[in-house]
Amino acid sequence: MTGAPRAPVVVIGAGAVGVSVAAHLAANEVDVILCDRGHAAGKTTGKAAGLVFSQFHDPVDVRAMAYCLDYVDRLDREEDDFTFHRTGYLRVGTEAERPTFEREVRIYRECGVDARLVEPDEIDEIEPALVTDDLTVGSYCPDDGHVDPHTFTTTMLRRAERDGVDYRPNTTVTDIVLDGDAVVAVETERGTIDADHVVIAAGPWSKQVARLAGVTLPLKPYRVQAMVTTEVDFDVIPVYDAAMGAYFRSEGSGVLVGDGTEEFESDPETYDERPDLSFLETAGEVMERRLAAGDVGVVNGWAGLGSGTPDAFPLLGNPPVEPGANRQVDGLWVACGLQAHGVMRAPIAGTLVADAIVAGDDRVSIPEYDPNRFDDDPGDFPVRELMKLE
């Protein structure tokens, strides 16, 4: 491979997660080549809702989001073209969800998150646009909010390039070259790139990219859907409605309504990027029932892809060649499986993987996110919709 360009690290995928990995490595003075078969935020990242919140179900995820919220806040203060809309995030439901809300608010408080249980009067005060006649409880954190996913990613990318990242759009990786059980290069349609480390951050395509190195990931891509309405005469902060199973927030002059999660696997190469009629009907019911805005049209609608794992925790680190195996490919890393929450969790994914590479470790500092955590092959597993209350 003499004469091929070389970088200590090649990152595959320029969505929010891959760009974050590259940016965090570059901030540690590591030379990085960032490859994408299209362009930054051109696939699933660009279809995200951009929510950023601490109100997860597990304390591990809640604590991890502290770094993410701090990161987007700093990016907002330091970069003129990026805004973190710190609007707060409200989750609402009925008495059936009260035990879950109460339990999770206790978790948030124990993790240092400024979240609280809210009753109907306060729900009305926080978000007057809601129709709350059947809502009896919820949770609210004023520090949460949302970003524009594309702007967030391209802003991180500009910082990364200022720090020396060599960004190569329209560069499809066709093979990961090994010498024994160690990464030595990637092959692309534009030629070979020698590397000591390769980070696979290709979102729902990560499973098939990992196969290039002989690695099997317990990862399941699945469809998620969203739409944006025509103009409405009100603004609404990000809200998750547990009773109706949907989230929504203002988007321009309309409202973005999302979820539409399909709890089964989709092929990332052939999945239908159009929203289902059944989802559009459900979104219309949300607008009419929860926001009293039934007479609206649809400006845009789409389906993106999330990536699920058996336990709904991400895969961050140096994976085994298959779940439960005690053999790894040296220098091969993954940053994927973020359960359709990759934009908001990109900062923690980036810093964990970058820190491990810089330190010469093969494990990230959050054991629950380590891809070596499975004792054996989990086989088929159900998709878990991460916003849904349990």
Q: How confident is the model at residue 2 (pLDDT cuts 50, 70, 90)?
A: low
Condensed to tens digits (0 to 9), the pLDDT of residues 309-321 reads: 999 999 999 999 9
Mean pLDDT of 104-132: 98
286 Rama class: left (phi>0) / alpha (psi -120 to 50) / beta: alpha
Residue 166 backbone dihedrals phi, psi, to 5 degrees? -95, 100
- CA 303 to CA 225: how far, in whole Å? 4
pLDDT computed for residue 248 by the predictor: 98
**How large a percentage of the chain has pLDDT more than 70?**
99
**CB neighbourhood size of 386 (10 A):** 17
- CA 288 to CA 295: how far, in whole Å? 8
Q: What is the pTM of this model?
A: 0.97
Condensed to tens digits (0 to 9), the pLDDT of residues 119-139 reads: 999 999 999 999 999 999 999
Smallest CA-to-CA distance from 378 within 318, 333, 337, 317 is with 337
**How large a percentage of the chain has pLDDT more than 90?**
96
Q: How confident is the model at residue 1 (pLDDT cuts 50, 70, 90)?
A: very low
Q: Where are the domains of the chain?
A: 6-46+150-217+309-369, 88-142+221-308
Helix (H) or strand (E) holding 33: strand 32-35
Residue with tokens 């359960």: 339
Which residues neighbour 91 within 8 Å (Cβ) at sequence distance 6 or greater?
A: 55, 101, 138, 139, 140, 239, 240, 242, 389
Residues constituting the chain: 390
pLDDT computed for residue 362 by the predictor: 86
pLDDT computed for residue 390 by the predictor: 81
Q: What is the CATH number of domain 6-46+150-217+309-369?
A: 3.50.50.60
- CA 176 to CA 216: how far, in whole Å? 14
Condensed to tens digits (0 to 9), the pLDDT of residues 324-351 reads: 999 999 999 999 999 999 999 999 999 9
Q: What is the CATH number of domain 88-142+221-308?
A: 3.30.9.10
Condensed to tens digits (0 to 9), the pLDDT of residues 153-176 reads: 999 999 999 999 999 999 999 999
Q: How confident is the model at residue 66 (pLDDT cuts 50, 70, 90)?
A: very high
Smallest CA-to-CA distance from 111 within 141, 154, 85 is with 141
Q: Cα–Cα–Cα angle for 74, 339, 249, nearest 5°?
A: 60
pLDDT computed for residue 114 by the predictor: 98
Residue 36 has pLDDT above 60, yes or no: yes
Q: How confident is the model at residue 352 (pLDDT cuts 50, 70, 90)?
A: very high
